[in-house]
């Protein structure tokens, strides 16, 4: 069997590391990676080539590669993107644009559609106020698309760019025999929590930071209010969703952007569960107005019925299973507590 050639950008990030391990376990893939940083030892042997550096300038390295699949994970996350907004725009938008152009070019040249998997985010939403956030319930993909962060604007726009390059690029769909276009598929992720890695520079980071700190017996000051609520997901479910969406035949998909979710908890509920697992954990709340504002602009929960209907999405870990079957057993092994 010939191996599929896969590019994973942002390979050193949390999703990147877990995805590369999952692709290597699955087998059948030759994995090329790219990131600003060198690959960590845990995934080094799984990559046949690592291109280190700024993607915007490195994309040209990839023009001779016949990628079957691109997972474009590289991004500047929401908290960092608010303080370095021009840099975030360059990384998040220009990097994506360069890679979409490459994938569109290759799809057309070789008449073989490149599958382009793009993680979008709950940051693509912008709730107009706390009262609306609290009453809106689980929101569908096409409502409240008024992001209030640079990162959210970037993600929403790149969803649109992906749709453009996969359907309308050069308006070639008007030709009698339309050329093969790239196959863009995007998932709007909630906050993700891994037992093996910690996030940095995002805003949903308070969830994983609090839990890892409690598991290590370290005090934690949470930067959002106790009642701050968004949806979260175990990292293995995020990886499962990417691989599921990768596998779905194109004709089964009626959309290109899908919400997924697993459980929605408040920061106070995270604290309560952390205390139950690690009695004596020291967790207090000192909301940071800027980061609180970001979380207040994200919906409490999202409606993932499109993904459930079109590609049978279902998370393995609801809140109880997340703690009991994934996070706590793994984290106890990791920190020996
Ligand atoms: N986890 C991301 C962040 O907090 C949201 O997609 O920036």
Closest CA to 96 of 142, 141, 143, 163: 163
Does the pLDDT value for residue 172 go beyond 70? no
CATH for 75-194+232-262+301-317 is: 3.40.50.720
Strand partners, 32: 7, 49
Does the pLDDT value for residue 163 go beyond 90? yes
pLDDT for 53-69, tens place per residue?
Answer: 999 999 999 999 999 99
Question: In 235-316, at which residue ranges do the beta strands (DSSP E only) sit?
Answer: 257-259, 263-266, 283-285, 301-302
Per-residue pLDDT, averaged over 20-48, amounts to 98
Q: Give pLDDT, residue 177.
A: 61
Q: Give pLDDT, residue 327.
A: 98
Residue 199 contacts residue 315 (beta carbons within 8 Å):
no
Does the pLDDT value for residue 105 go beyond 80? yes
**C-alpha span between 336 and 254 (Å, rounded):** 46
Per-residue pLDDT, averaged over 92-115, amounts to 93
Does the pLDDT value for residue 51 go beyond 90? yes
Residue 277 contacts residue 295 (beta carbons within 8 Å):
no
For ligand 1, the distance from its centroid to the CA atom of residue 135, given in whole angstroms, is: 22
Mutate to test the pocket of ligand 1, among 10, 15, 74, 77 (most ligand atoms within 8 A of CB): 77
Q: Give pLDDT, residue 170.
A: 79
Mutate to test the pocket of ligand 1, among 204, 233, 291 (most ligand atoms within 8 A of CB): 204
For ligand 1, the distance from its centroid to the CA atom of residue 143, given in whole angstroms, is: 19
Q: Give pLDDT, residue 108.
A: 85
Ligand 1: residue whose CA is nearest its atom 6:
121
Mutate to test the pocket of ligand 1, among 149, 199, 241, 290 (most ligand atoms within 8 A of CB): 199
Q: What mean pLDDT value characterizes the chain?
A: 96
Q: Give pLDDT, residue 181.
A: 85
Q: Give pLDDT, residue 110.
A: 85
Query: Which DSSP category does 54 fall into?
Result: -
CB atoms within 10 A of CB 328: 19
Compute the chain's Rg from CA coordinates. 20
- Give the whole-number percent of the chain exceeding pLDDT 70: 97
**C-alpha span between 3 and 66 (Å, rounded):** 12
Does the pLDDT value for residue 180 go beyond 80? no
Q: Give pLDDT, residue 109.
A: 85
Q: Give pLDDT, residue 173.
A: 58
pLDDT for 262-281, tens place per residue?
Answer: 999 999 999 999 999 999 99
**C-alpha span between 122 and 137 (Å, rounded):** 14
Contacts of 116 (CB under 8 A, 6+ apart): 69, 70, 72, 99, 100, 103, 162, 166, 182, 183, 184, 185
SS (H, E, C) 166-231: HHCHHHHHHCCCCCCCCEEEEEEECEEECCCCCCCCCCCCHHHHHHHHHHHCCCEEECCCCCCEEE
Q: Is 123 in the pocket of ligand 1 (CB under 6 A)?
A: yes
7-21, 28-42, 103-117: segment of lowest average pLDDT? 103-117
């Amino acid at each position: 069997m010939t191996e599929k050639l896969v590019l994973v950008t942002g390979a050193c990030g949390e999703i990147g590391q877990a995805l590369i391990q999952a692709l290597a376990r699955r087998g059948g893939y030759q994995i090329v990676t790219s990131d600003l940083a060198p690959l960590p030892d845990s995934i080094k042997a799984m990559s046949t080539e690592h291109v280190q550096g700024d993607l915007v300038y490195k994309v040209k390295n990839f023009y001779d590669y016949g990628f079957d699949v691109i997972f474009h994970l590289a991004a500047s996350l929401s908290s960092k993107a608010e303080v370095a907004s021009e840099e975030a725009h360059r990384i998040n938008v220009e990097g994506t644009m360069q890679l979409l152009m490459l994938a569109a070019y290759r799809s057309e040249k070789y008449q073989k559609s490149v599958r382009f998997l793009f993680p979008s985010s709950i940051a693509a939403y912008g709730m107009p106020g706390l009262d609306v956030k609290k009453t809106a319930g689980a929101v569908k993909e096409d409502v409240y698309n008024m992001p209030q962060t640079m990162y959210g604007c970037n993600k929403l726009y790149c969803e649109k760019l992906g749709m453009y390059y996969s359907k309308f690029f050069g308006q070639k769909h008007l030709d009698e025999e339309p050329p093969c276009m790239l196959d863009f598929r995007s998932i709007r992720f909630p906050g993700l929590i891994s037992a093996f890695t910690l996030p940095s520079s995002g805003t949903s980071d308070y969830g994983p930071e609090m839990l890892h700190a409690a598991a290590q017996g370290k005090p934690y000051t949470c930067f959002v209010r106790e009642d701050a609520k968004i949806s979260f997901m175990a990292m293995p479910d995020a990886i499962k969703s990417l691989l599921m969406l990768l596998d779905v035949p194109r004709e089964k998909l009626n959309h290109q952007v899908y919400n997924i979710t697993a459980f929605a908890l408040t920061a106070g509920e995270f604290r309560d569960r952390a205390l139950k697992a690690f009695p004596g954990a020291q967790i207090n709340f000192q909301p940071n107005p800027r980061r609180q504002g970001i979380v207040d602009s994200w919906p409490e929960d999202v409606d993932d019925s499109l993904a459930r209907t079109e590609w049978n999405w279902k998370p393995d870990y609801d809140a109880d299973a997340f703690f009991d079957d994934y996070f706590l057993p793994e984290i106890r092994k990791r920190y020996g507590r």
